[in-house]
Chains A and B, each alone.
Chain A
Amino acid sequence: MSFKQATYDEPHIKSMQSRTTFETITGEFSNSIIPQSMRIDQPSVPMIPEYDVVRHYTRLSEMNYSVDTGFYPLGSCTMKFNPKYADKIAAMHLFSETHPLRPEWSVQGSLAVMYELQEYLKEISDMDEVSLQPLAGAQGELTGVLIIRKYFELKGELDTRREIVIPDSAHGTNPASAAMGGFDVVEIPSNKNGTVDIDALKYAVTEKTAGFMITNPNTLGIFDPDILEIAEIVHSKGALLYYDGANLNAILGITSPGIMGFDIVHFNLHKTFATPHGGGGPGAAPVAVKKHLADLLPPPIVRKNNAGYYMDYSNSKLGNIASFYGSFGVLLRAWSYIKRNGADGLKLNSSRAVLNANYLAKKLSKSLKISHDGLKKHEVVFSSEQTGVRALDIAKYIIDSGMHAPTVYFPLIVKEALMIEPTETVTKRDLDAFVDIIERSLKEDHETISKRPINTASGRLDDVKAARELILK
């Protein structure tokens, strides 16, 4: 292994105190204009030369693995290449320097982008109406849950519809969002194929059920072929069906949540539509619904008439869930990605993502136990239990070899889980190298592997100490 991550003994920025070199504005100002009781002489901010700040964060960035550094197969996160044209467009100052409260006639360019994106998302999902407002996947889910809540409140059934049913393979945000919206969470087990256990679903869905939240393909990378029957069961009890769009990259242009019978969908633009994840955010998660729920979406919806584009606030039964119209900078990048790839490119990308996942599934099956046999979609889950090597140790071996690790210990229903999502933006050469790395990790003795990583900026870190001492600033 020849990988060695850049490593600096980089001090905390506060200890770099020296002087300030950046001049915001010229002139002298007196704080006597601030009421005396509220006045301070100087805020508690360190003095650091601009060049030192830039050097400091440049060095820190070198100690950070990213999609631009290499393969990043973090399961369920869709860490695909973030195209640079989208950066260029998002940085156009006539987009980025626009105040959100400017009158509609002065922001026709931004509104056109939002309108077109709404239309694209409707076509991709086969849903009827979309709100671009929610700011990340979990907020999209919360929006969906609150739409469910409002729907039953208006029907006068909220007192009895207290439960949201969720499969045990679901993302953690699903139960958390349902609970945040005030529902009781009912978890149902998966069947031996890794998909929804129809009998368990029939038992769980009752007149008390408000909704069923599911992602298809699920977190095991398996497409649930019974989805129409599932929709039928849920709808027959009067409940709503919610689509977690985290795994949409597998099926874009092949099928859609609308066709599958879903009532509500959120899209993760930072996953499927290649907007950069920013080291943890920002994301964006527009929510789409079928017609019967259209007046429950958070406003505004961008519409078009002869005079141009305008914002429609008439759908205000739920009201807003965030300040303005969504993460416009992220929406703009997703618009760019969709336009650049077009109908042909989007479908090709999904196909390649699925091809890569299946290729890894077969190749890695020689060394690790696959969670479930059969065709995979965007991702594949393995267990390292039978090898005697912990998933955590394999992950550390992988990062020590200069690639990013898969998601580990998720989904919870697979022991020693490694959840791998290659996406479409990786070559066979890198996939083969990744398999090689995992195979080598399984041959390393326990003593050596448990001391890894040694080639990264830091060695294994003491989580227990962090939680005990709670040094948070």
Chain B
Amino acid sequence: MIDIWRGANLDDDFAMLDYLGFKNFEDLFSDIPAKIRKGNLRMDPHHSEYDLIRQAGFLASKNNYEDFSNFLGCGVYDRIIPSSVDSILSRSEFLTAYTPYQAEISQGMLQSLFEYQSIISDLFGMDVTNSSMYDGPTSLGEAVRMAIRVNERRVILLPENIYRNKMKIIENYTSGLNVVLQTYKLDDRTGMIDLNDIASKINQDVSAVVVENPNSYGIIDENVLKVKELLNGALLIAYVDPVSLGAVRPPGSYGADIAVAEGQQLGIHQNFGGPYLGIFTFRKELARKAPGRIIGQTTDVNGRTGYVMTLQTREQHIRRAKATSNICTNQALMAVAAVSYLTIIGPDGLRKVALASAENSIKLKKSLSSLGNVNADIFTGTSFSDVPVRIDIEVEKLQEKLKHDKIFGGIDASSLFAFPRKTDEHIYFFSVTEKTTDDDIKRLSDSLGGIR
């Protein structure tokens, strides 16, 4: 076999085959019966590195709409990422390692993940953070499972405007459990949690109440502060926007037992859907019921501070069928992105990012309200990043108009929500971040103003 393109040393292969008493590669597969042998792979032969990169660049260019104004959000946001975050992630000692099973030679990753746990716990006002889950919605699925393990009750109360993808994940994650998923109402005027409705649904069977902040209408929900007192032994699970915590009270301050989030906004590129980061935090007393890897501080034989994976008896590689979760590979590198991002931008940076988003929401609402033909003030609550706008137009027509005017945005509430109500019809979301400019807002305003 000639192998010029790799420049490989064929002597190695032959020397090893010879040592084994084999003549060729074929001899290595004599244990695989002829009946199940595969014919040649029907795909192209290898490409050179240069050719591959050229082809990739060609495909990438088909995504090129850089002259568009971006108003997409709803869980994933185009935020400023310091160059240093990408630089830290490109350290191949982090990038190309695996789970730190051999702690002594992996202290770098272990300490980085421990620091991620510290920084996130502080930001969320929670006791403990695990060292990452896959993404926000799967973290919520795991949070619901954890609540059921903790109090062995069977009803989960969810907001009625929960996103469809979150709802489906919760259904799938709990399909093996005897669970009832029930929704509670949001107030049509404020766009916030209807506390009376939660109160009326609380009983001894309720395992947990899930609240979102900002909620799925994009509203900073003041009523989350009053949910804890209604619970009667049920757990409070909060799903929050981590960037909002630059200016908004953290879930620990209103009594969350478990708080989860999508961490994409913390220094992670949009990546067309992933990899992202599942942030998973909880009260310390619940630690033994938690899913995922947890890093603990300890000392080595010389008394030096060091870090190890701890509470591993919860995990699949030890407990197998009795593990708290099946998770093994997680999003460790993305956790390093998050801790780098937060420490680089600092408290004032995060505060500004949060406030700039909220301020741009206000600007957007003001600008759209002046048009007269759309309603950007559907709710009295304060918008954070996602602004719901009622436009009397079908989704296809709206998308056509936006495309023509070079705008991404206008996500349809009825496609986003698991249980769209009559009142959600013709609600479209336009999302802003700290990157949104006045020119972007003007472009959108001009475009929507032209709808008749």
Contacts and interface: CB of A to CB of B under 8 A. Distances in A.
Contacts of B220: 34-35, 38
A95 B245 CA distance: 29
Interface string A325-345: 111111010001011111111
Interface stretch (A50-58, A198-206, A235-243): A50-58
A176 B323 contact: yes
B82 A45 contact: no
B270 A100 contact: yes
Interface in A279-306: 279-284
Contacts of B80: 24-25
Interface in B338-387: 339-340, 342-356, 358-359, 362, 381-382
B53 interface: yes
B146 to A, nearest CB: 12
Contacts of A404: 102, 105
B298 A465 contact: yes
Interface in A17-60: 20, 22-25, 27, 29-31, 33-35, 37-40, 42-48, 50, 53-54, 57-60
B343 A62 contact: no
B247 A34 contact: yes
A208 interface: no
B248 A42 contact: no
A75 to B, nearest CB: 11
A176 B213 CA distance: 32
B260 interface: no
Interface in A355-411: 355-356, 358-359, 362-363, 374-375, 377, 395-396, 399, 404-405, 407, 410
Nearest to B300: A459
A276 interface: yes
Interface string A95-115: 111111111011111101100
A53 B340 contact: yes
B389 interface: no
Interface stretch (B35-43, B181-189, B229-237): B35-43
Given A110-B272, A396-B104, A279 B42 contact: no
Contacts of A307: none
7 contacts: A38-B248, A47-B347, A96-B269, A185-B320, A185-B321, A276-B92, A344-B46
A283 B105 CA distance: 22
Among A45, A60, A175, A328, which residue has the most Cβ atoms of chain B within 10 A? A45
B304 A375 contact: no
Contacts of A101: 72, 74, 76, 411
B108 A50 contact: no
B93 A66 contact: yes
A399 B47 contact: no
B9 interface: yes
Given A68-B96, A473-B129, A340 B46 contact: yes
A332 B127 CA distance: 37
Kindly state the interface size class of chain B when it binds its partner. Answer: 35 or more
Nearest to A324: B273
A124 B94 CA distance: 30
B344 A22 contact: yes
A45 B12 CA distance: 53
A120 B41 CA distance: 9
A1 interface: no
Contacts of A50: 82, 84, 344
A142 B326 contact: yes
Given A43-B354, A53-B344, A340-B47, 15 more contacts: A13-B118, A31-B351, A39-B249, A92-B60, A96-B269, A99-B78, A107-B272, A181-B176, A225-B32, A278-B331, A279-B336, A321-B169, A323-B169, A463-B298, A470-B287
A209 B294 CA distance: 35
A61 B35 CA distance: 48
B413 to A, nearest CB: 13
Nearest to B213: A38
Contacts of A53: 84, 88, 340, 343-344
Contacts of A346: 41
A322 interface: yes
B451 interface: no
A451 interface: yes
Contact of A37 (B222, B319, B342): B222
Contacts of B45: 342-345
Contacts of A465: 298-299
A457 interface: yes
Given A29-B359, A277-B96, A348-B3, A467 B310 contact: yes
Contacts of B321: 175-176, 178-179, 185
A20 B109 contact: no
6 interchain residue pairs of minimum CB distance: A182-B176, A324-B273, A278-B333, A280-B332, A20-B346, A64-B108
A29 B355 contact: yes
